[in-house]
Amino acid sequence: MDTYHVIIVGAGPAGAACAKALCEAGIRVLIIERESLPRHKTCSGVLFGQTQVLVQNIFNAQPPAEVFCEPKQIQAANILEWRSPEDIVPYCWEIPKDGKQFPQTYYNIHRATFDHWLVRQSGAEVRQHCLFRGFSLHEDKIQVNVFLRDAKTLEPGGTGKPEQTLYCDYLVGADGGSSAVRRALEPDWWTSTPDVIVYQEYCHIRSRGALQDGCWYVFFEKSIGDILCCVHRKDNCLVLCVGGFKGRDVRAGMEIFKSFLHEKFSVVLGKQERVEGCIIKPGPPYLGKGRVLLTGEAAGLLYLNGEGISAALDSGYRCGTALARAIREGGDAEAYYQAGIQDILHHVQICAERMHFLV
């Protein structure tokens, strides 16, 4: 049998941090990722202060130059909420945690490159094009069913079987807000929790107009979406983000947003480079059950106004630490994990109470 102590579904920050803790403890771990790395992910791609501290503490390094894009730095004071041409105020996207202040200089990154770097730093074995299809208990192991999306397997004349079975002692869902592991563990979750749809476009810049470089602009416009819409620069593109609840036409909202930016700021956009989208499931945190644990956004762990990388790194590493303890010493990994992240859960609650995200 193809057996591991731990299988982690998802190669984002939560999965990488969890794998890092396990590899440090000498535990055999596998990350499975449905896409080819590096892969894009719907995200602002900004490293907040807490994220920077966590990356240094967990991986003992800061990202290399190729992870960053221009403008490299965004000051916290330059995240601006536009209400009218005469009313522009600072927008808060990070608050102190447990009384600790974090750096107020944020970093602008390519999220795909950042995630790939984290996974390489973890030291874990990774299988790409590997789609999680469900799990079941098999004697004293967890049987994990996967589908290999590799073209070498699926093309006519390809070798190997696309459907395979892996085995592990513990399974971790680190596969984001639409977590397939959480859906398998908690089937009613997906249908009972409202959808928030987030849609992004990367558009080449012909003119930034009155948009100040190094600033990140946030807007609350009912005609555009049900949640904040925002724009900031990454190299030669402006990243435009809109969103709404299920039923909202976010693509139509994006076109209204483009017209809004042209009218209010004289922004002129060029060709579209790419689009991204995802579904956020707002709801109370759920850490998993028994030998199947959830971490990061899969567990519903989000900080102020949807910031997820900090919570993912911190909860992922602590999940790995709890699993390593259970494997080495025995005991209940779920209980270790639950006890070990009470401060994270508390901060999630504080952030939910201070949320300024909906129109």
Q: What is the mean pLDDT of the chain?
A: 95
pLDDT of residue 226: 96
Residue where a domain terminates, one of 279, 312, 334: 279
User: Does the residue 88 lie in any domain?
Assistant: no
How far, in Å, CA of 112 to CA of 248, rounded?
27
| Residue 286 and residue 258 share a domain | no
Q: Are 107 and 68 within 8 A, CB to CB?
A: yes
pLDDT of residue 151: 65
The CATH code of the domain that includes 41 is 3.50.50.60
The arithmetic mean of pLDDT across residues 332-352, rounded, is 97
Q: Range of 215's domain?
A: 196-279
Q: How confident is the model at residue 150 (pLDDT cuts 50, 70, 90)?
A: confident
Task: Please check the confidence at residue 107 and state whether its pLDDT lies above 80.
Answer: yes
| Residue 288 and residue 172 share a domain | yes
| Residue 140 and residue 58 share a domain | yes
pLDDT of residue 115: 97
Residue where a domain terminates, one of 227, 258, 279: 279
pLDDT for 267-301, tens place per residue? Answer: 999 999 999 999 888 888 999 999 999 999 999 99
Q: How confident is the model at residue 64 (pLDDT cuts 50, 70, 90)?
A: very high
pLDDT of residue 155: 61
Torsion, Cα of 144, 149, 297, 282 (10° steps): -100
pLDDT for 349-359, tens place per residue? Answer: 999 999 999 99
| Residue 107 and residue 65 share a domain | yes
What is the DSSP code string of 237-298? Answer: EEEEEEEEETT--HHHHHHHHHHHHHHHH--EEEEEEEEEEEEE--S----EETTEEE-GGG
The arithmetic mean of pLDDT across residues 340-356, rounded, is 97
- Give the three-state DSSP class for 87: strand
Torsion, Cα of 282, 284, 287, 292 (10° steps): -60
pLDDT of residue 131: 96
pLDDT of residue 281: 84
Task: Please check the confidence at residue 114 and state whether its pLDDT lies above 70.
Answer: yes
pTM for the whole thing?
A: 0.95
| Residue 272 and residue 175 share a domain | no
| Residue 130 and residue 38 share a domain | yes
The CATH code of the domain that includes 227 is 3.30.70
